[in-house]
Each structure stands twice: as C-alpha cells, then as structure tokens.
Amino acid sequence: MRNFDENSRPCAAQPAAGSAAACYAFRAMKKIVYPALLLCLTACNAPGPTNTTPVRTTQHSSAAVPRAAGPQNFDYYLLNLSWSPEFCYSHASAPECGRHATFVLHGLWPQNADGSYPQNCSDAPGPADPAQYSDIYPDAGLLEHEWKTHGTCSGLSADDFFRTARGAFQSFTVPARLAQLNAQISMPPDQILSLVTQSNPSIPASSLALSCGNNYLTAVEVCLDKQLHAIACGPVRSCRARTVRIPPP
C-alpha cells in the first residue's frame, strides 16, 4: 500500500479499483473486538450512510419501535453515523457530496454482547417502495445492501426496519461546533465524544465509540437497545489516535 501524507488521504483499501462503494465500506468498518475480524460492508455505494436532510439542532424523542415479526437473535443495535466530509474528500461525485452534510446514516446494525454480529439472516424482500427512504438512503443500492446484510437480522419487516433506522438517526443531534465548521480542526477523540454527549444528554459517553482512518474522523457510533435507548457499548472500541482531524462540511 502506498504511503500518503495529510494532503493525500487514502481509501485505506481498494478491494475493487474505482469502486467508491468498496472504499467506503472499509473506511467505515466496525471496530469490534472478536476472534476473526470481519468487514461489515463490502459493497456499499457512495456515502453509504448517506442522509441529505438538514442538520438537526434539537433533540428528538426516539420513534416507537415496531414489534418484531420474527426472532431477534442479537443483543443490541450499533448506530453508525459517518462523517460525510471525510468520505467526500475523495468521492466528490457521490450523492451526498456537494450538499455539505455532516453526520449521515451508514447503518443500524444488530450486534451481540460478545462482539460478534449476525449478517444475511434471510431472503426476506426489501421495502416495496425504497424511494420513501431516500432521505436516509439516497442510493438504492446501499439501502438494498443494508437490508440484506443487517436488516434481515433485526426480526423486523423491511419497512419497520428502515423506519426504526430513521427514528434512531433523527434522535441524534449534531454538535453545533461540528455543524458550523468552516475550516479543518483537530481534537482528541474524547473531546469529540464530549461534544456529542453535550448535544445529546440522553447518550452517555459509555454508549459512544469513535472511528477514525489515518487520523481523520470517519464515524461516531452509538450503542442502543432494541427500544433505541442508549446503553453501554461493551466490546466496541474507539479510535486510538491521540488527535483526530475533522474536515468541514
């Protein structure tokens, strides 16, 4: 792999040359500690966790969570909120890019307390009208991937799963300092997470993890129970960099 300096940030991995999807999947991978490290995504498009709705400045209450239609053989959800400006640095033509989004929805992923997670649990069909979720997934290919890989393990119907994911995302308030950036800044991971807890009083620090790549912010992750209440993350680990660089929206 080539060496890159600050002004030439890599995708970190290029499983398929020219594939923004594969690149994004690696950069936003889960940082879970378990015996055989698996990549959570292998074919996400553009801003995988893409959401192009305006930055929310008020805390929303969590949406009512539908009753599961099937077994929920997992312990909790990991809500992955990707920092769009970092992805857009090398993928300016992606759907979310040019809209100056901040955190966007990558996925709502079923997790287990031991650090493992289920995937590809059934062949259940996705939503009949994917376009109704274009606010959180403008790319239909990503929506399909998230459903097949993660949603089928939720025990919910496709529509209930994406409504739940939307509710989880909409209950997150982007810290004002990050939403209003007009130049790159740097700060320790703990300070970034402190901004998140200040803007989201219902989410304690123990429910958060931060992902980074090449010392750049890539995502904030929130651990939620099946009713979308924040819980301690357990085996999910945060970025180990001393200082993380944050490019502006």
- Which residues carry out catalysis? 106, 146, 150
CB atoms under 10 Å from CB of 247, counted, come to 18
3-state secondary structure string across 88-126: HCCCCCCCCCCCCCCEEEEEEEEECCCCCCCCCCCCCCC
Rounded-to-integer distance, Cα 218 and Cα 211, Å: 5
And the tokens for 247?
Answer: 């490019």
The stretches of the chain forming alpha helices (DSSP H) are 20-27, 84-88, 140-149, 158-170, 176-179, 189-199
Kindly report the CA angle at 238 between 62 and 81, in degrees rounded to 5?
Answer: 35
- How far is residue 120's CA from residue 240's CA, in Å, rounded to a whole number? 30
216-224 and 103-111 as β-strands: parallel, antiparallel, unpaired? unpaired
HSE toward the beta carbon, residue 208, CA cutoff 13 A: 22
Neighbouring-strand partners of residue 83: 103
